[in-house]
Amino acid sequence: MRMWFLSAGLALMCMAQSAAAGTVLIVGDSISAGFGLDTRVGWVSLLEKRLKAEGFTDQVVNASISGDTSAGGRERLPALLAEHKPQVVVLELGGNDGLRGQLPTQLKQNLALMIDRSQAVGAKVLLLGMQLPPNYGPRYNEAFARVYAELAQEKNIALVPFFLEGIGGHPELMQADGIHPAPAGQGKLLDNVWPRLKPLL
């Protein structure tokens, strides 16, 4: 009888751990896809290691594609939601929209639709904000950065105001192109994300 209770208890513990496990879906561009890097040193891989180290059982699905825009992410998202059924969706898009001079209003519409679709299936959303180099001009840059803050407030979602905070503008943390973080900057990317992501797990 005692063995039966022990077995039942272990089974319940395993079931509870399984039920607690979730999926974190990351939909991003080259920064999250690990462009120019061994992906094993990218911030998403570092996230997987930190989750395990802190006792989380969540699975990470990295659906990031180099060169992707908010429009591309918008089109890809429904299939990703259906396949992975995530509990948390991390949106890291918009940098390529800005570099191509696309309208901030269009960026906002695309991201808003992605947020709505994620929330409709019960997922929590973390939005990673981006900023552009100063050569794009203050008016455009301000309108671009404002998109993320406005969406976070309007949709009541978590926000990292600037994903590359403390990395952009530091040559030792960037690759030679000045756009993509180097291996030395990947830990800082994770540190920027973690305080906003952890409460959602």
Q: Which residues are catalytic?
A: 30, 177, 180
Other residues' Cβ atoms within 10 Å of the Cβ of residue 97: 26
Q: Which helix (H) or strand (E) holds 133?
A: none
Two tokens at 188?
């800082």
DSSP 64-89: --TT--HHHHHHHHHHHHHHH--SEE
Beta bridge partners of 61: 25
The C-alpha atoms of residue 54 and residue 161 are separated, in whole angstroms, by 25
Closest CA to 129 of 24, 31, 19: 31
